[in-house]
Amino acid sequence: MPLKERFDLVIFDWAGTMVDHGCVAPVQALVEVFHRHGVLLTEAEARRDMGKAKKDHVRALLDDAKIAFAWAAASGQAPTAADCETLIGELGPLMRAQAALAAGLIDGARTTVDTLRGAGLKIASSTGYTREMMAPVLTRAAEQGYSPDHLVCSGETLHARPSPLMIYKACVDLGVWPLSRVVKVDDAESGVAEGRAAGCYTIGVAASGNGVGLSAAALAALPEAERSARIAAAGKALYAAGADLVIDSVADLVPALAHAAA
Rounded Cα–Cα distance for residues 178 and 46 (Å)? 35
Q: Which residues contact 205 (CB under 8 A, 6 or more apart)?
A: 13, 16, 17, 185, 186, 187, 238, 246, 247, 248, 249, 250
Rounded Cα–Cα distance for residues 159 and 182 (Å)? 20
**Domain range annotation of the chain:** 3-23+103-261, 25-101
Instruction: Choose the catalytic residue: 54, 55, 122, 184.
Output: 54
Instruction: Choose the catalytic residue: 13, 20, 186, 252.
Output: 13
Q: If DSSP codes are grouped into helix, strand and coil, which group holds residue 72?
A: helix
DSSP secondary structure letter of residue 188: S
What digits encode the pLDDT tens for the residues 64-106?
999 999 999 999 999 999 999 999 999 999 999 999 999 999 9
Domain 3-23+103-261 has what CATH class? Answer: alpha beta
CA-based nearest residue to 207, from 188, 230, 226: 230
262: pLDDT strictly greater than 90: no
pLDDT band at residue 1 under the 50/70/90 scheme: confident
What CATH number is given for 25-101 in this structure?
Answer: 1.10.150.240
What pTM value is reported for the model?
0.94
What digits encode the pLDDT tens for the residues 225-249?
999 999 999 999 999 999 999 999 9
Q: How many CA atoms lie within 13 A of 106 on its CB side?
A: 31
What digits encode the pLDDT tens for the residues 217-227?
999 999 999 99
Whether residue 169 lies in the annotated active site: no
What digits encode the pLDDT tens for the residues 109-154?
999 999 999 999 999 999 999 999 999 999 999 999 999 999 999 9
Whether residue 13 lies in the annotated active site: yes
Residue 50, amino acid: M
